[in-house]
């Protein structure tokens, strides 16, 4: 009997001695595998873009010309288009996401909360190409005949800011691409915000209500300060999604390599340029320039994520929480 009882701890000790190092080794392997894949991606982008970077130098980033006939390429137009459409998407999407998350956590009746949340999250399951087709066949005619003429006749007449809403109403353009991106990031940002709002301890809300605070004061002075890390993370998630979107933007942005102050003018992004022209690239410099665009997009996305991480760490240091 004594031998049986003493054998059980021995077997457990043996499993621990074998299992812990094995688990540590596997986790270390997967962590290193991620770093290796990332390093490989960067290496491929840098090596394949070297011909273009050696020919054009740093000026590739701020050159607006993109001419396959003369083999002259610059990243400025698609880079600006990528940033502008992402900013438009955040400008439209974040307030709506905040409002929906606030409604679901603070105002929505309990019986309707889950169905509405599921309906919003289902938007994330719609393929991006469906958003593009829907935008092309439904939103482009609406913008061309109703929205853009109204914007030209109203906001377009205001000095300075009106420059953003001038030109012919053709439907396709940077503004519509930003709107499509806003719809695409909406479920991601809303879901994260709803979760972080719901994670705020009930005692904090009840204490604020007990002191006579209104719903808005509770959200603004209690919920948001407590969950600001999660809110910033949700916005960064939406921004990363907007920067890299390809097919939906390609359908509605117009794919024109030219700069314009008007948001209604056709434009292009890095992703849409790669999708449209990569199969047509027949020269070494042309192909290398497209890969260099991918490198620029990688650096842009990495910079955005690094800044977002810095903001998160700063908020955590100030007492914020997810």
Name the 3-class secondary structure at 169.
coil
Distance CA 242, CA 3 (A): 65
Q: CA–CA separation, 248 vs 140, rounded Å?
A: 13
Average pLDDT for 283-296 = 88
Kindly give, in sequence order, each residue whose CB lies less than 8 Å from that of residue 283, ignoring residues fewer than 6 positions away: 68, 71
pLDDT band for position 317 (cuts 50, 70, 90): low
Residue 180 pLDDT exceeds 90: yes
Superfamily (CATH) of domain 59-317: MetI-like (1.10.3720.10)
Mean pLDDT for 273-297 is 86
71-76 mean pLDDT: 87
**pLDDT confidence tier of residue 315, bands split at 50, 70 and 90:** low
> Which residues, in sequence order, are bridge partners of residue 67?
72
Helix (H, G, I), strand (E, B) or coil at 72: strand
pLDDT, residue 9, reads 61
In the chain, where the domains are located: 59-317
Phi, psi of 148, deg, nearest 5 = -65, -40
Kindly give the residue spans of alpha helices, DSSP state H, lying in the chain: 2-56, 59-62, 76-102, 110-122, 128-134, 140-142, 148-153, 174-198, 202-210, 215-218, 224-244, 247-252, 270-277, 284-317
Mean pLDDT for the stretch of residues 167-189: 89
pLDDT tier, 85 (very low <50, low <70, confident <90, very high otherwise): very high
Q: What is the DSSP letter of 223?
A: I
Tell me the C-alpha distance between 53 and 82, whole Å. 20
């Amino acid at each position: 009997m004594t031998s049986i009882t003493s054998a059980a701890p021995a077997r457990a000790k043996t499993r621990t001695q074998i299992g812990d190092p094995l688990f540590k080794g596997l986790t270390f392997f997967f962590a290193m595998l991620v770093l290796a894949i990332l390093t490989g991606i960067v290496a491929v982008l840098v090596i394949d873009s070297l011909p273009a970077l050696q020919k054009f130098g740093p000026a590739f980033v701020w050159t607006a010309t993109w001419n396959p006939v003369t083999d002259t390429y610059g990243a400025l137009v698609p880079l600006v288009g990528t940033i502008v459409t992402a900013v438009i998407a955040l400008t439209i999407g974040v307030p709506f996401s905040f409002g929906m998350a606030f409604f679901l956590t603070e105002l929505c009746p309990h019986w309707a909360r889950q169905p509405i949340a599921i309906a919003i999250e289902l938007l994330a399951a719609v393929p991006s190409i469906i958003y593009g087709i829907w935008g092309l066949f439904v939103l482009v005619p609406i913008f061309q005949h109703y929205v853009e003429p109204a914007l030209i006749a109203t906001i377009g007449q205001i000095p300075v800011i009106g420059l953003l809403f001038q030109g012919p109403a053709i439907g396709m353009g940077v503004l519509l691409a930003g709107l499509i991106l806003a719809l695409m990031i909406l479920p991601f940002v809303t879901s994260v915000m709803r979760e972080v709002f719901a994670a705020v301890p009930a005692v904090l809300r009840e204490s604020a209500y007990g002191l006579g605070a209104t719903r808005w004061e509770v959200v603004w002075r209690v919920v948001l300060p407590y969950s600001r890390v999660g809110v910033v993370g949700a916005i960064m998630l939406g921004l990363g999604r907007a920067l890299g979107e390809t097919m939906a933007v390609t359908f509605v942005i117009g794919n024109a390599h030219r700069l314009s102050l008007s948001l209604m003018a056709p434009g292009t992004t890095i992703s849409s340029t790669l999708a449209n022209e990569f199969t047509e690239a027949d020269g070494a410099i042309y192909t290398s320039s497209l890969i260099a665009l991918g490198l620029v997009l990688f650096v842009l996305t990495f910079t955005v994520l690094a800044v977002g991480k810095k903001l998160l760490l700063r908020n955590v240091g100030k007492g914020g929480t997810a």
